[in-house]
Every structure is written in structure tokens, then in C-alpha cells.
Amino acid sequence: MSDVVAGVFRSLKYFNYRVWASGAIVSNIGTWMQRTAQDWLVLTQLTHHSASAVSIVMSLQFGPQLLLLPVSGYAADHLDRRKLLMFTQAAQGALALGLGALTLAGLAQLWHVYLFAFLFGCTTAMDAPVRQTFVSDLVGDAELANAVALNSTSFNLARMVGPAVAGFIIAYVDTGWAFVLNGLSFAAVLVSLCFMRTHELRRGPRMTRTPGGLTAGFRYVWARPDLKATVIMLFLIGTFGLNFPIFISTMAVSVFHLGASRYGALSSMMAVGTVTGALSSAHFSRPRFRSQLISSAVFGVSCAVAALAPTYWSFGATLVVIGIATLMFLTTTNSLMQLSTEPAMRGRVMAIRLAVTLGGTPLGAPVVGWVADHAGPRWAILVGAASGFAATFVALRAMAGESTRPEETLAADD
């Protein structure tokens, strides 16, 4: 058992990764507190249960992933990632404190939330590809897949705690304090970045400053059948499937008629699954394309079952399975794309991955929100199920011929 545990958490043997992980878990809890409080604020305090308003917030928050793609990928490949993270993390903390102050003062309006969502989106678009590629600077390629899985574990352990704490704060204190506490939590990441041993960072080669860098990134992805199939799968599930703020909030309010604390508990139930999926991924040293196929199929089936769930508890149990499938899928695509990409191109490839996964939200969230408002939350979840089935079909097509399978994946699967 001890050998298994040591294998799962092997990236923690690196000092810089331990420091990073300790700061990240605190900030991640704050992030999930804010996400939960923001959706509840829009759905119950600033509108009358409008799923469309929640979808607009999501679109504004994730749309910049596409708008800033030329800049974010370039920055991740050319600039000092540690210093850039210090800037983006500080900016996100300041924005959270600003929204918290407005809410506590009783001045928050819907357009304020829209504005802050867009600004958060801009900082996140710059932060996310740098943060993901920074992992390789901390542990190197040998433990990259494990470190990515542990990052996902941290993020989703926070997903268990953050929504539950946010539900308590909303019910018994004030929604604005969830935003304030999130703003303060970014100090933990900034401290961890300051305490790192910079001489131990494993900085890979940086791409030379040439025009058309982003175009080169797209050409690189499109010339690789494995990466192309993965990007299409990410687009399908990211656009129409990863709309959990809409799915969970509308089911909680409109179908099960729950209060803030039990709404937060639903997000925590899903987090149980995501943590399980992340820890399962941490066992493997090499990601497999086959895992993408299986996890996308399970995602589609479990979303279909969730849409039919008759009770609060059955819906919550299905969310656990959805969480496992989601994290297995996202962690596998993350590790596979990083490990099979040339180090000098990783920043742009990961920026493309994030832009496709999260940048599709401005397209999918309004559709899912409209379906939830006009046909009901259950039909909206069925849209997510359809995205999982479509992604599974793409994976089957990609694996049908040997020419569409990467050498690394063939070696891992066989």
C-alpha cells in the first residue's frame, strides 16, 4: 500500500512542486467558493432563476480564451512563466476583492457581474496556459503526467470544500464574503512562487521570436492526427458538456427547489468523482488515447442518466460518475498533448487546448441556457450527453486506422 501511495504522490519529492501545491490548494478552494457564489448571486439575487444570465456570465468568463489565444500561447512559450504567474494571480486576487466589495456594499448589479466575469476571463486566459506548462518546469517530463494528475486532484479536492463553504457563507453570512475570501486566497500562490528555488526550475527551450508563431501552432496540431482528434473531442465536450454551473444550478433551483447549502453540496458531490478520477489518473506514468474514448463514452452515458434522475440523491450520485469521467478525460488530454508535443511548442499547443475547451463556452453556454429556460434543465443535460457520444464517435474514427494513432499511444496501448 505504501508503494502505491508513494507512486501516486511521487511528484511531491520535488521541493518546488511541494511549495506550488501547498499554495495552489488554498487558492483553488477560494476559486470554487467564488464560482459557486457567483452563480447563486446571478440566479437567485440579480435575476429570477435565469439560466440564460448564468450562461452569459460563463460566456464572458471563458470567451477571452479565444480572443487572447495569440497572446497567451506566445507568452507561455517566450516569457518567464514564474514572473508571469505572479502578475496574473495578483490581478485575479484584486478582481475578486473588487467584486466582493461591491456585493457587500449592496451595490452589485447584473452588469457588474458581467464586467468582472469578462475581466476574470482575460486574466485567466493569460494565466491558464502558463500555469499548465509551468508544471513541466517544476518536475520535468519524467513526472509530468503524475504532476498534471495531482494538480487536478488539488483542484477537485478544493471543489469538494469550496462549494460547501460557499453555501454556508451564502446562507448564514453574505455572498460577498465568498468573493473577498477568494481574493485573499491568491496570496498563498504568490507566497509559494516567491519561495521557490529558481535554480531548480527545469526551464525547457523557448521558441525563437518569429512571425506567425500562432499559425505554426495550429499547423503543428492539424498535421498530427492524434492531436487533431483530441482537439475536436475537447471542442465537443467543452462547448456543450462542461456547462455544470447551468446544469447543477438549474436542477437545484427549478427541479429540486433547494436552498443555497444543498446547492453547494451538489457541487461537492460532483467533486468526489473528480477527485477519484484525478487520483486514478495519477497512477499512470503514460497517458493513453484509449482512455479518452472510454471516458467520453462514460461521460455521455452518465449525463443521460443524470437527466432522468428522479430525486436529489440519485442526481447527486450520478454527478459523482460524471466527475470521474470528466477528470479522466481532461487529465488524459492534458498529459497526452504535453508529452507528445515538442517542448518549444507546448505553450501554444496548451493555449489552443484551453481555447478550444473553454473558449467554446460562448457558443455552447447560451444554447444550453436557452434549452434549460425553454425546455427544462433535464433537456439541457441531454445536450451534454450528446456531446459525449459525439466525442466518442470521433475517438472511434481516430482509432480505426493506424495512421491516425500516435506512435506514443500505440506503444502505450499495445
The predicted-structure confidence for 223-271, as pLDDT tens digits, reads as follows 888 888 999 999 999 889 988 878 888 898 888 888 777 877 887 788 7
Q: Find the mean pLDDT for residues 91-106.
A: 95
Lowest mean pLDDT among 205-219, 272-286, 355-369: 205-219
- How far apart (Å, rounded) are the C-alpha atoms in residues 185 and 27? 5
342 phi and psi, to 5 degrees? -60, 135
CA distance to 134, 157, 168, 182, 403, per residue, from 25 (Å):
16, 8, 20, 12, 41
- Bin 100: left if φ > 0, else alpha if -120 < ψ < 50, else beta: alpha
- How far apart (Å, rounded) are the C-alpha atoms in residues 55 and 50? 9
State the number of CA atoms in the 13 A half-sphere of 129 facing the CB: 35
Question: The pTM is what?
Answer: 0.71
CATH number of 8-198+212-413: 1.20.1250.20
- pLDDT, one tens digit per residue, over 337-366 is 877 787 777 777 877 887 787 767 778 888
Q: Which of 354, 410, 339, 9 is nearest to 145 (CA)?
A: 339
Lowest mean pLDDT among 102-111, 129-138, 347-356, 395-404: 395-404
Contact 81, 136 (CB under 8 A): no
DSSP string, 219-232: HHHHT-HHHHHHHH
